[in-house]
Structure 1
Amino acid sequence: MTPAERAELALLLEVAGAPKPGNVDRERDLADLRFEQFLAGAVGARAGLERAADPEEPLGDAFETAVAGMADAAGTNTQFGCLLLLAPLVRTAATGDLTRERATGVVESTTVADAAAFYRAFDHADVAVQEPPEGAAELDVRRGANAVPALRDRGLTLADVLELSADRDANAGEWTRGFPRVFRTAAQIEASDGPLVDRAADAFLHLLAEAPDTLVATNHGEAVAREVRERALELQSADRDAVRAFADELVERGVNPGTTADLTAAALFVALERGVSVRD
């Protein structure tokens, strides 16, 4: 398999893992998102993932292509954050060893043009994000392509843009700090056994217990994000029925730890690149 194919498989395995508290999985849909839409989104992103694997292609354009394909196939935003994490990891894997050091090099090589493509990607999908940092309203990603002139005036690369929110957004933090949680979780997936969809669900719960989910904090506030994390901590040694009950509760409350799903998908990709297989 190629890195792009493994990235697509990682997206499929992530959404198939169950139970994943508050998220779409093979056992449950959300009111406005269905399991099959995530399958379609993964397939639709394939062309962009292929571009990410080509070192001659601008990484930002590859990401925008993946997001546009996802949104067109799924009819909505299903995996924006997953694709943001996967793009530099796919580029790293396609050009040599997949290590944190080499992934950091890919991030540091991004350009202002990559940042512009990142902003344009927000025109293809509705993405829940936090308010921009103080003094950076003109760089609000929700402005999409309209923010590109300000971006170019400041000469900000994609790495620079994500650094602005690294302390408040888990995915941006992974990009700018060498993907520590992604690689750590990949090692846990590698060290465990059983079906990969079950390992995906276990990885999700572990990540949810590790830190408050950014999307939950954005949509419901920091207190709810901390509460969800504490509940996940309590369930670390629980059986799947207990986790399933928590999953149902979060769905009923409309609490969706989507950033945790992004990290899970990226960790699955790293594990697949390191030799984990559905045949194990």
Structure 2
Amino acid sequence: MTGRNSGATRRTPAENAQLALLLEVAGTPKPGNVDRRRDLEDLRFEHFLAGTVGAGKGLRRAEHGARVGIAFERAVAGMSRQSGGNTQFGCLLLLVPLVSAAARGDLTPDGLDRVVADTTVEDAVSFYRAFEHVDVAVRDPPAEMDDLDVRRGEAAAPTLRERGLTLSDVLALSTGDAAGGGMEEEARGETDGEPGAETEAGTRGIPDWNAVDWTTGFERPFAVAASIRDDTGPIGDRTARAFLEVLADRPDTLVATSHGPAVARDVSERAADVRGDLEAADALADALVEEGINPGTTADTVAAGLFVALERGLSV
């Protein structure tokens, strides 16, 4: 069992998940991403606010014990009901199992392992169905895995059922760049960027970090939560510093998918150069927006970390 937020500010896990989404997009600067000071051409701050409201029904279903796949698909469907398109697909992929674990009173890496192990084939079908609600930037799968490309949506259901693949199985495959086209979103911009020339060789060194979290007890969100709680100052500043730390430590999956691994590694090096310096990061944020580089997977991790921090007592 883990401690919950208490007193007059006590919130349910679903409410904390929505608050985490709001705090994530309000943090600034987060280089390359929408924040409260920066919009992209077709994706604006208010789209994320509306997406957060829309995701609420699915998050509440997770809190009330619904299957993870169903809760996720419902959260994505609700999130999609705004004019900006895909805003928080990857965030929800992390938050739904976190909400499920928190509602069970077991928000721990072991508790998340149990949530993941409990997923079914029908959860996988619901996961694929979620891709029908929004455009999601993914890698092309190997030819032999074409029938498991997530862009097939519910059309992949017969293959999933025939092979007996649970949602846990699908995401485990994705950690090795082997299935589903990479399971990665274009959360901070809806361009359909193609992988760079070196992607075939290089992205194997830059995995789908969201899938990795699913298979490792969500270790990184717990680490991010600790850094946010240990930090001081306004939560928006803590969020921005956490974003820089994650981006500096891990080349972003979405950047690698859209621009190639060399660009992803270069962005991480640029983030490392300004980590902890929000004034310098502000200039980097403007530069990455101008270059059309969106580290959306990093934002997913930070949103998940904010949720864990809120559940563990971060005061707002």
Note if 1:263 corresponds to 2:272. Answer: no
Please give the secondary structure, in 2, of the residue aligned with 1:128.
coil
Letter in 1 for 2:302: T
Amino acid at match of 2:126: A
Q: CA deviation at 1:166?
A: 1.2
1:134, CA displacement in angstroms? 5.4
1:122 match: 131
Cα offsets for 1:10-60 (capped at 9, x unmatched): 0000000000000000000011100000000001000000001112x1111
Matching residue of 2:89: 80
Structure 1 Cα separation of the partners of residues 37 and 270 of structure 2: 20
Q: Which residue of 2 aligns with 1:93?
A: 102
Per-residue deviation, 1:97: 2.7
The superposition leaves residues 175-215 of structure 1 with CA deviations (integer Å, 9 ceiling, x where unpaired) of 11111111111111111111111111111110000110000
2:76 to 67, 82, 94: 67
Q: CA deviation at 1:135?
A: 2.2
Amino acid at match of 2:245: H
Q: Which residue of 2 aligns with 1:30?
A: 40
Question: 253, 259, 276: which is aligned to 2:314?
Answer: 276
User: Would the aligned equivalents of 1:44 and 1:74 in 2 still touch at CA under 8 Å?
Assistant: no
**2:49 counterpart letter in structure 1:** L
Shift of 1:75: 4.3
The change in CA–CA distance for 1:133 and 1:89 in structure 2 (over 3 A counts) is farther
Q: Distance in 1 between matches of 2:45 and 2:229?
A: 26
Structure-2-length-normalised TM-score = 0.86
CA RMSD, 1 decimal: 1.0
Q: Is this contact kept in 2: 1:67–1:124, CA < 8 A?
A: yes
**Deviation, structure 1 residue 245:** 0.4
Which of 1, 16, 22 is 1:6 aligned to? 16
Q: Deviations over 1:234-279 (max 9, x none)?
A: 11243x221000000000000000000000000000000000011x
Instruction: State which of 56, 79, 91 in structure 2 corresponds to 1:46.
Output: 56
Which residue of 2 is the match for residue 250 of structure 1?
288
TM-score by length of 1: 0.97
Counterpart of 1:107 in 2: which secondary structure?
Answer: helix
- The count of corresponding residues between Structure 1 and Structure 2 is 276
Paired residue secondary structure (1:73): coil
Matches within 5 A, 1:127-206: 127-133=136-142, 135-167=144-176, 168-206=207-245
Q: Is the 8 A contact 1:41 1:74 kept in 2?
A: no
CA distance in 2, matches of 1:155, 1:197: 43
Matched, 1:212 2:274: no
- In structure 2, distance between residues paired with 1:186 and 1:104: 18
SS in 1 for 2:144: coil
Residues 133, 165 of structure 1: 8 Å contact kept: no
Instruction: State percent identity of aligned pairs.
Output: 63
Q: Does the 8 Å contact 1:38/1:74 carry over to 2?
A: no
Q: Structure 1: where are the runs of 5+ without partners?
A: none
Mark the runs of 5 or more structure 2 residues left unpaired by the alignment: 1-10, 177-206
**In structure 1, what is the equivalent of residue 273 of structure 2?**
234
Contact 1:235 1:243 in 2 (8 A): yes
Query: Displacement, 1:132?
Result: 2.0
Q: Which amino acid is 2:214 matched to?
A: W
Q: Per-residue CA shift, 1:99-151, capped at 9, x if unaligned?
A: 01101110110000000000000000101111224521100001111111111
